[in-house]
Amino acid sequence: MKEFWETAILGAGASGMMVAALLREQEGTVLLEGNPRPGAKIAVSGGGRCNLCNLHLDLPCYRGDSGFVREVFARYDQKWLREWFERRGVATRVEKGSQLFCHDGASAAVDALRRASQKSVLHAGWRVESFRREGEGFVLSRQGGGTVHCRRLVVASGGLSFPKLGASDIGLRIAESVGHRIVRPAPALVGWTLQPSQAFFKSLSGVAIEVKIRIGKRLWQDRLLFAHRGISGPAVLNASLWWERGEVEVDFLPDFDLQTLRGSRKQLSTLLPLPRRVAKAFLADLGIDDRPAAQLRSDEWKTLEKLRGYRFAPAGTFGYSKAEVTRGGVATEEIDPETMESRLVPGLYFTGEVLDVTGELGGYNFQWAFSSAAVCADALNGKYPG
Ligand SMILES: Cc1cc2nc3c(=O)[nH]c(=O)nc-3n(C[C@H](O)[C@H](O)[C@H](O)COP(=O)(O)OP(=O)(O)OC[C@H]3O[C@@H](n4cnc5c(N)ncnc54)[C@H](O)[C@@H]3O)c2cc1C
């Protein structure tokens, strides 16, 4: 069956639903969603509580063109986002100092977005398989028949992470087919697998400790979780956004001065500010017998210092099935940050995670999805800045 629409939005996730919600005339708009229900990622996000945004909208937390990101946030920031949800009955609360969560669970955010976009038509279970241009418009088809013709197309199909929640590469294929450059996608906000030299980490599976991780000039202090497949936890997840193969440096004793232990008659494994299991495993790895600190030779003190700057190269990541986001995507150089419209194809828009903009943990990715959506909706409403 053929359908004709003024605007089609590919993907009823965070970004696509926000575009629809902000349209002045929703009646001519169809949301195409492969899942049976919209907002699947929002529903599971933040452990089911959805970390909507962060009170500190820090640009250095984003990977992508900072000028492009700044222009979007200059118009739609965290204050706007918080107010938008609160005005629609979504109570929020701040945790960990600056992270804004839905007080009554993530489904409150999904419901608010759906209510606000309810005059648009939702085609759920409509998985777009192919795309073509026709005249000044676009045609989207799904497997097993059915086409949607539209004059304007918003690609809000997200990244490649969590395929079981509906992720697909359709947005990248559409962009590439019309000549956009794609920044190589990779799993991000994801755990690392290990080389054989760190195989002993696996014996610590389930233990979490505070660490500092350094990659180049970037530094994160947070928890590291030893997992069966490797290492995870917020410090690792954030670092994974910036990691490009090669070595990373972990300080397993953040803010601790080893020199304060010199002369002590207590066993090293009880003196080190680490769970005993972890201390023993690292001492064994460093080839230092667990004995009173006072008995250590000076070369052993030097070896012990390696815990402050433990360098190793992760083998890889846990992959898209575990990654919270995908970094890379449609390069922003050919996207207008005032409208989110393609500079190559009039009427074609990209918003959210499908673009080459990715944030660290803390609500930064929903912020991007919602703010880029709002900029796009302004353009579709015929409202331009200035
Ligand atoms: C487990 C988990 C927890 C997260 N927690 C947080 C958090 O607390 N805070 C935060 O800021 N970020 C979080 N994120 C990241 C955040 O969910 C995403 O960055 C955000 O959802 C991106 O919005 P989007 O609209 O661009 O993409 P999505 O929300 O992924 O929406 C894209 C939509 O397009 C649909 N789609 C894809 N391909 C097709 C197709 N071919 N045909 C039809 N439909 C299609 C998908 O089914 C999906 O509904 C989390 C991610 C995961 C996986």
pLDDT tens, position by position, 281-310 = 999 999 999 999 999 999 999 999 999 999
Residue nearest to atom 22 of ligand 1 (CA): 353
Domains of the chain: residue spans and CATH: 2-187+323-380 (3.50.50.60), 192-317 (2.40.30.10)
Each of the 386 residues of the chain gets a pLDDT tens digit; together they read 789 999 999 999 999 999 999 999 999 999 999 999 999 999 999 999 999 999 999 999 999 999 999 999 999 999 999 999 999 999 999 999 999 999 999 999 999 999 999 999 999 999 999 999 999 999 999 988 899 999 999 999 999 999 999 999 999 999 999 999 999 999 999 999 999 999 999 999 999 999 999 999 999 999 999 999 999 999 999 999 999 989 999 999 999 999 999 999 999 999 999 999 999 999 999 999 999 999 999 999 999 999 999 999 999 999 999 999 999 999 999 999 999 999 999 999 999 999 999 999 999 999 999 999 999 999 999 976 54
Using a CB cutoff of 8 Å and minimum separation of 24, what contacts does 256-263 make? 256/308, 258/301, 258/304, 258/305, 258/307, 258/308, 261/293, 262/293, 262/294, 262/301, 263/293, 263/294
Q: Is the dihedral of CA 270, 272, 273, 275 positive or negative?
A: negative
Give pTM, 2 decimals.
0.97
Atom of ligand 1 at shortest distance to CA of 161? 53
Report how far residue 287's alpha carbon sits from residue 38's, in angstroms, rounded to the nearest whole number: 54
- What does the pLDDT read at residue 154? 98
Pocket test for ligand 1, best of 113, 157, 322 (most atoms within 8 A of CB): 157
- Going by C-alpha positions, the residue among 111, 112, 95, 97 that lies closest to residue 46 is 95
Q: What is the CB < 6 Å shell around ligand 1?
A: 11-16, 32-35, 40-41, 44-46, 50-51, 127-128, 156-158, 161-162, 166-168, 170, 324-325, 352-354, 363-366, 369
| CA 41 to ligand 1 center in whole angstroms | 5
pLDDT of residue 355: 99
Calculate how far, in angstroms, residue 260's C-alpha sits from the geometric centre of ligand 1. Answer: 48
**pLDDT the model gives residue 146:** 93
Ranges of H-type helices in the chain: 14-22, 40-48, 66-75, 78-87, 106-116, 170-177, 234-240, 268-271, 276-286, 298-304, 364-380
CA of residue 229 to ligand 1 center, whole Å: 24
* Nearest atom within ligand 1 for CA of residue 351: 26
> What does each C-alpha distance from 228 to 172, 193, 195, 238, 246 come to in angstroms?
33, 9, 13, 19, 22
- Residue 368: which of 52, 100, 85 has the closest Cα? 52
Query: Which two three-digit tokens encode residue 249?
Result: 């440096």
Structure tokens at 239: 């670092």
Determine the distance separating the centroid of ligand 1 and the alpha carbon of 265, expressed in angstroms.
54
Alpha carbon separation from 243 to 95, 108, 111, 155 (Å, rounded): 27, 34, 36, 28
Atom 30 of ligand 1 has which residue's CA nearest to it?
158
Ligand 1 atom closest to Cα of 365? 11
Convert 179-191 to b/e letters by CB count within 10 Å (16 or more is b): ebebbebbbbbbb
Residue nearest to atom 5 of ligand 1 (CA): 45
Helix, strand, coil distribution of the chain in percent, nearest 5 = 35, 30, 35
Please give the Cα distance from 366 to 14 (Å, whole number). Answer: 7
